[in-house]
Amino acid sequence: MATLCRPAISVPEHVITLDQTLELARRLHAGHPQLALALRLIANTGVRTRHLVQPVEATLDHPGFTARNALYEAEAKARVPETVRRALEHAGLGPEDIDMIVYVSCTGFMMPSLTAWLINTMGFRPQTRQLPIAQLGCAAGGAAVNRAHDFCTAYPQGNVLIVSCEFCSLCYQPTDLAVGNLLSNGLFGDAVAAAVVRGEGGRGVRLEHNGSHLVPGTEGWISYAVRDTGFHFMLDKRVPGTMAQLAPAMTDLGRDRDWDVAGLDFYIVHAGGPRILDDLGAHLRLPGAMFRYSRATLTERGNIASAVVFDALDRFFADGGADDEARGLIAGFGPGITAEIALGSWTDGHARPEALTLRGLAASHV
């Protein structure tokens, strides 16, 4: 059965604090009629620090979509490989053991996908399947886990590498002055994450069930307007209330498989903001501590889009994981409004050493 192994996370070296964010908002938008509201919303996000691929001054400059996207590609190629290597080490595998790469990102565009570059430069086999996912936003982390699970269900000895590369700061639009955009300027951060789903062996979350749910009539609530200046993030004020629809969908998914979603041992969920976590806890009647890993990600790194679930999961691993067979949930939420939900159990099984993998042995005799 497929196992999601420990992720690897990397964040850029440039840091912006909440105090710096609030001061920038006051200075850049001094005459904004809703500045007080925007400042209050930013302060209430719970975000204390965020990491950026550029210094703050460069982030605030907009050289045009062409330059922004070129920077996205350059930064991805500079930062992703080391993160991938660590994720492979966590899983006890090498590039030659990977059968599919799922690449998720909503903050830049490349064609061919970065998957092709990774295969050409990092020793992955030419036969490695590629699955880029670009338009699920923050839900893509959960979707990547679920598509990897699906692949390993179809190919039980297969292994899947997931890569999430999110440079949200490259979507900053200085001319967008709606309150929702001002809020996003103080909420989103940058990060790269990678994780391996092993078809056999491995320590981590043994994936057992997955599902997806779209809230009807909400496709315009989280979206991009694609303009000459790039991606313009659109956020509806009704988004924080969507747990009223998504929590029952999660409960139904569990009930259909004889799982009590409100009675699990661990929860790794996308932290889009504190209200998402508060409302989910209220609907499932769970104490706030059950979402402590997601809250820590939000506090220290902000909303890092599809990478949130992997950062929170890494914190869970760092905390020792769970008892063998403990049950848990992984969920990402994003445009649609869409939820991607996985149910799984903790396993302390040990990954095979890389030298003993079938492909490793075969390669040694070529």
List of long-range contacts for 311-315, beta carbons under 8 Å, 24+ apart: 311/7, 311/9, 311/191, 311/193, 312/268, 312/269, 312/271, 313/4, 313/6, 313/7, 313/195, 313/205, 313/268, 314/6, 314/7, 314/8, 314/9, 314/193
Query: What's CA 150's distance to the chain center, in Å?
Result: 18
Question: Is 99 in contact with 160 (CB distance < 8 Å)?
Answer: yes
Tell me which of 5, 138, 168, 171 is the catalytic residue: 138
Based on its alpha-carbon atoms, the radius of gyration of the chain, rounded to whole angstroms, reads 20
DSSP class of 42:
H
Q: Which structure tokens are listed for 262?
A: 């409100």
Clarify whether 165 is annotated catalytic. no
Q: Measured between alpha carbons, how far is 183 from 100 in angstroms, rounded to an integer?
A: 36
- Reported residue count of the chain is 366
Query: What is the Cα–Cα distance from 349 to 355, expressed in whole angstroms?
Result: 18
Up-side HSE of residue 310: CA atoms within 13 Å toward CB?
36
Pairing of strands 8-10, 190-198: antiparallel
65's tokens: 């979509």
Tokens of 43: 């302060």
CB 24 within 8 A of CB 56: yes
* Residue 153 exposed, middle or buried by CB count within 10 Å (0-12, 13-18, 19+): middle
**CA count, 13 A, side-chain hemisphere, 152:** 30
For the beta carbon of residue 327, count every other beta carbon within 10 angstroms: 20
Would you please indicate which residues are annotated as catalytic (active-site) residues?
A: 138
